[in-house]
Amino acid sequence: MKTNDVILQTTTKVVFFIIFLFSIHIFFAGHFAPGGGFVGGLLTTGALLLLLLAFDLKTVQKALPFNFIIVIGIGLLLSLGTAAGSIFFNVPFFTHAFDHFTLPLFGETELHTAMIFDAGVYLVVVGSALTMIQTIGGDA
């Protein structure tokens, strides 16, 4: 029998954006409040997993045409690059820098390179979790 998933799919379309925005909030809040790259990445994975549950694997792969193994690579490169970048400024490996900037719309904001490292962690978590799920979930 063809399953009738209208309710689940319609809710998913709304709820996906709530979870995704909240994961981005958690990711950016990581420096001053609980959260960070790992939890943000897991929440994003949860949002994408909801899409996978409501629609099938092929639809989601068509909507998000990423190879998630490459996403892991980009994340590792970002983290390693942030850590290695400090060498060029004659400071030890992994030294982070931060400063206060006045951005349009945001006002005075503290920007720091730890955020780029966190972005790397985020990408690695999303990439590895989704690679596992897609590998196990797909028909081999």
Partner 1 sequence: MIVLANILIVATIIVGVVFTIVTSIGVLRLPDVYTRAHAASKSSTLGVLGILLGVFFHFWLNEGHFSIQILLGILFLFITSPIGGHLMSRAAYMSGVKPTELTVKDDLAEVVKKAKQSKAVTSQKEQ
List of residues contacting partner 1 (CB under 8 A): 1-2, 7-8, 11, 14-15, 18, 22
Q: How far apart are CB 50 and partner 1 at their closest, in Å?
A: 10
Alpha carbons 106 and 40: distance in angstroms, whole number? 21
Shortest distance, CB of residue 1 to partner 1, whole angstroms? Answer: 5
CB 82 within 8 A of CB 115: no
The residue type at 22: F
Give the count of alpha carbons within 13 A of 95, CB side only. Answer: 9
Shortest spacing between CB 98 and partner 1, in angstroms: 25
CB 113 within 8 A of CB 79: no
Nearer to partner 1, 14 or 136 (CB): 14
User: Look-up: residue for tokens 């490169």?
Assistant: 77
Nearer to partner 1, 40 or 127 (CB): 40
Cα separation, 16 vs 139, whole angstroms: 25
Q: Which is nearer to partner 1, 4 or 90 (CB)?
A: 4
Q: Between residues 1 and 136, which has the closer beta carbon with respect to partner 1?
A: 1
Smallest distance, partner 1 to C-beta of residue 116, A: 25
Where do we find the tokens 């490459």? 70
